[in-house]
Amino acid sequence: AGMEGSGDSSRADWRLAVWTLCSVLLPVLITAWCSFQRSRRQLLIRDIFRKSKHDWHYTDLFGQPSYCCVCAQHILRGAFCGCCGLRVSERCLRKADQRFLCKEIMMRGTAGAPSSMPHHWIRGNVPLCSCCMVCKQQCGTQPKLCDYRCVWCQCTVHDECMVDCLRTEDCTFGEFKDLIIPPYYLSTINQMRKEKRTSYEKVVPYCRKHWMPVMVLANTRSGNNMGETLLGEFKMMLNPVQVFDLSKIAPAKALQLCTWLPCNAVRVLVCGGDGTVGWVLDAIDEMKIKGQEQYIPQVAILPLGTGNDLSNTLGWGAGYAGEVPVEQILRNVMEADGIKLDRWKVQVTNKGYYNLRKPKVFTMNNYFSIGPDALMALNFHAHREKTPSLFSSRIINKAVYFFYGTKDCLVQECKDLNKKVELELDGERIELPSLEGIIVLNIGYWGGGCRLWEGMGDEPYPLARHDDGILEVVGVHGSFHCAQIQVKLANPVRLGQAHTVRLILKSSKMPMQVDGEPWAQGPCTVTITHKTHALMLYHSGEQTDDDDASSLSE
């Protein structure tokens, strides 16, 4: 009996051990199997994305009610095309990729020189509040896959209003026909280039009087990281060939599209900060050197950076956060007026008899400075280089600037600047009062929205413009003085205006910056001279009270 009892106990222990092992292994095996299936599914999806002509993007949750274009079922997650707007469930992705064509950037297999093309209809998921082009009633009101949208002109049609004649009707390209580059135009120009013909004047819409094709150059790394979203929205409205991601293609290469388009007609919308705008303007200067001056475009700005002072000066606002729809942005670009912007050469020559290095040369659009604001920019730049992921918000960026400005108020690292530098304006030596910083301005705004030259506006000051070949030079007493000027509680020390500015740093190392690009500089001579003009676009739509009060100073 004792042996039987011990045998039963042993079997019970084994049974417990087996069940314990199963309870531990089963979740592990299920998790491993799910992980394997998920990885396999992701590999298949990536393979489809890589080979597809659609611009597929995967999403775990659609932002609005969506229906699969293949099975017509309601979907929460799946893929959408950033060019034509197709939405599809994960299991129907391969079928949708094979069944539906995306926007063609260039027509293929066409004889002669076509001057029109039919609508390209996509069924379902039409924009909210869109109206039928036939009956003028609202579309997309039913909770199912219904109604049609043309991916080029954005017209919508009810299922019951869709007739055969609409399927073959020529597309007008809608409201933005003067901004869109039609696929048939690119195919015709491509054929003419192969035949070495350059007389594009009779090609439609080259010959149309008001055609002003727009190119969109977006920096997806700028400021608040909205560039990725904007790329998709502009590809939906325009020909995808007109939209460029500057993290994947350099501006100089993107701008070669201008040589396929009418002379002096192209408009470029730069989505990014002032640094991105400067990068594009440098690429445009390269076009001049290559002898492509007749293809130079005019530049508009959609401000995605932190400071955006150039954008503010040209009427495009202090920062974009998605509050204006893409359609209105394109209207603003169409209506904007052309103006000129001075660009300046900043040459920094190090002192010393044994210095064999070439002078550093920068191009300035906004301002040059030495002193506390350059120190704040240098500290900010150093920390952003270490941890770039923390600096993805405009608010965080400005908070970091505020922290370093407050710190400098206490430490005063740039004091007695007037004893360390000499300043010459058009060859005339300027006696400097006690200062911590000197700022050379080309534009009206500075420091993220402050009208530095104007100050409080309570005393007369010489007029300032960004296209007159003259720079404004001011001094500041420190970070606290800068803060007072920004809230209109103090005036800057106006040192004068000049065509040429020369600044000599006699001793010690000081922070300097050109258009937000800072560095620490030893004894040197800084010479600022006029370089060229840039063709910009000025938006006069939304002026603030400050802009109205000081419009004369621009």
CA–CA–CA angle 324, 149, 131 (5° rounding): 70
Q: Above 90 in pLDDT, residue 489?
A: no
Tokens 């209003």, residue? 161
Q: How far apart are CA 319 and CA 448, in angstroms?
A: 10
Q: Above 90 in pLDDT, residue 164?
A: no
Domain membership of residue 492 as a residue range: 343-533
Q: How many CB atoms lie within 10 A of CB 457?
A: 14
107 pLDDT band (50/70/90 cuts)?
confident
Helix (H, G, I), strand (E, B) or coil at 293: helix
Residues 393 and 520 in one domain: yes
Q: What is the pLDDT of residue 123?
A: 93
Domain count, the chain: 3
Q: Is 114 exposed, middle or buried (0-12, 13-18, 19+ CB in 10 A)?
A: middle
Helix (H, G, I), strand (E, B) or coil at 27: helix
CATH number at residue 488: 2.60.200.40
- Read off the pTM: 0.86
Any domain includes 155: no
Q: What is the pLDDT of residue 120?
A: 94
Any domain includes 198: no
pLDDT in tens, 180-206: 999 999 988 888 888 888 777 778 787
With CA atoms as reference, report the closest residue to 243 among 288, 164, 285, 181: 181
Residues 374 and 511 in one domain: yes
User: What average pLDDT does the segment 363-384 reach?
Assistant: 83
Backbone angle region of 272, left / alpha / beta, with phi > 0 → left and psi within -120 to 50 → alpha: left
Q: What is the pLDDT of residue 548?
A: 42
Residues 218 and 352 in one domain: no
Any domain includes 424: yes
User: Range with the lowest mean pLDDT among 40-49, 62-71, 209-218, 510-519?
Assistant: 40-49
User: What average pLDDT does the segment 58-71 reach?
Assistant: 88
Any domain includes 110: no
Q: How far apart are CA 344 and CA 42, in angstroms?
A: 50
Q: Which of 314, 335, 356 is the last residue of a domain?
A: 335
Residues 430 and 502 in one domain: yes
Instruction: Name the strand (E) or helix (H) holding 12.
Output: helix 2-51
Q: Which of 335, 354, 388 is the last residue of a domain?
A: 335
Query: 403 or 186: whose pLDDT is higher?
Result: 186
CATH number at residue 54: 3.30.60.20
Cis peptide before 205 (omega within 30 of 0): yes
Any domain includes 482: yes
Helix (H, G, I), strand (E, B) or coil at 15: helix
Share of the chain above pLDDT 70, in %: 88
Residues 359 and 321 in one domain: no
Average model confidence (pLDDT) for the chain? 85
Residues 419 and 458 in one domain: yes
Which ranges in 102-255 belong to alpha helices (H)? 164-168, 183-194, 227-237, 251-254
Q: How far apart are CA 467 and CA 536, in angstroms?
A: 11
Q: How far apart are CA 93 and CA 80, in angstroms?
A: 9
Q: Which of 68, 83, 103 is the last residue of a domain?
A: 103
pLDDT in tens, 448-485: 788 899 888 787 888 889 999 999 999 998 888 888 88
221 pLDDT band (50/70/90 cuts)?
confident
Any domain includes 20: no
CATH number at residue 319: 3.40.50.10330
551 pLDDT band (50/70/90 cuts)?
very low
Any domain includes 235: yes
Residues 353 and 500 in one domain: yes
Q: Above 80 in pLDDT, residue 74?
A: yes
383 pLDDT band (50/70/90 cuts)?
low
Q: What is the pLDDT of residue 4?
A: 57
Residues in the chain: 554
Q: What is the pLDDT of residue 554?
A: 42
Residues 387 and 325 in one domain: no
Residues 413 and 471 in one domain: yes
Residues 510 and 409 in one domain: yes
Residues 91 and 62 in one domain: yes
Which residues does residue 124 pair with via DSSP β-bridges, in sequence order? Answer: none
Contact status, residue 97 vs residue 48, Cβ threshold 8 Å: yes
Query: 412 or 376: whose pLDDT is higher?
Result: 376
171 pLDDT band (50/70/90 cuts)?
very high
With CA atoms as reference, report the closest residue to 214 among 274, 154, 273, 254: 254
Q: What is the pLDDT of residue 109?
A: 60
Give the distance between the most distant pair of CA atoms in the chain.
Answer: 118
| DSSP code string of 346-413 | EEEEE--TT--SPPEEEEESSEEEESHHHHHHHHHHHHHHH-GGG---HHHHHHHHHHHHHHHHHH-T
Q: What is the pLDDT of residue 435?
A: 92
Helix (H, G, I), strand (E, B) or coil at 340: strand
Task: Give the CA radius of gyration of the chain.
Answer: 30
pLDDT in tens, 114-153: 778 999 999 999 988 889 999 999 998 888 999 999 999 9
User: What average pLDDT does the segment 493-506 reach?
Assistant: 94
Instruction: Tell me the angle at which helices 394-411 and 479-486 cross, rounded to the nearest 10 degrees.
Output: 130
Q: What is the pLDDT of residue 501?
A: 96
Any domain includes 547: no
Question: What are residue 13's phi and psi, to 5 degrees?
Answer: -65, -40
CB-based contacts of 310, cutoff 8 Å, min separation 6: 274, 277, 301, 341, 365, 366, 443, 445
CA–CA–CA angle 372, 375, 380 (5° rounding): 130
Residues 444 and 487 in one domain: yes
Which residues does residue 537 pair with via DSSP β-bridges, in sequence order? Answer: 338
CA-to-CA separations, 494 to 24, 101, 166, 441, 470, in angstroms, rounded: 77, 62, 66, 11, 14
- Residue type (1 letter), 470: I
Contact status, residue 390 vs residue 413, Cβ threshold 8 Å: no
Helix (H, G, I), strand (E, B) or coil at 224: coil
Beta strands 428-430; 421-425: pairing state: antiparallel
